[in-house]
Amino acid sequence: MEEYYLFTFESTHAAIATEKLLEPAECVVMPVPRFISASCGISVRIKPEMQETAEKIFSESSKLRPDEYSYYHITIDKSVTDGNGVTCDKLPALN
């Protein structure tokens, strides 16, 4: 099972600003997965063990409004053979 948290953004500027902000949380920039359709195309991925750190930094320091980003919890069950095994839960805004 693969698990991670994902921020998506309405603009590339917001994605780049969040990447810089979340460097201490060891974030990774990646393309938005196909199962999430709306955004600028760039997302910031967070490991589960860094979730609390990332959320704390983001909620205390980000200047983004809730309508400028979305936050997801993603799980991928690679053992599923009769479907994609992806669960994508949209989480509440952090600020």
Q: Where are the domains of the chain?
A: 2-91
* Helix (H/G/I), strand (E/B), else coil: 84: coil
The rounded distance, in Å, linking the Cα atoms of 19 and 29 is 7
What pLDDT, in 10s, does the model give residues 52-83? 999 999 999 999 999 999 999 999 988 876 66
Q: What is the mean pLDDT of the chain?
A: 93
Q: Which has the closest alpha carbon to 71: 56, 88, 92, 46?
A: 92
* Distance between CA atoms of residues 8 and 48, nearest Å: 17
Which of the listed CATH numbers 1.10.3470, 3.30.70, 3.30.2420, 2.60.40 matches domain 2-91? 3.30.70
| Whole-model pTM over 0.85 | yes
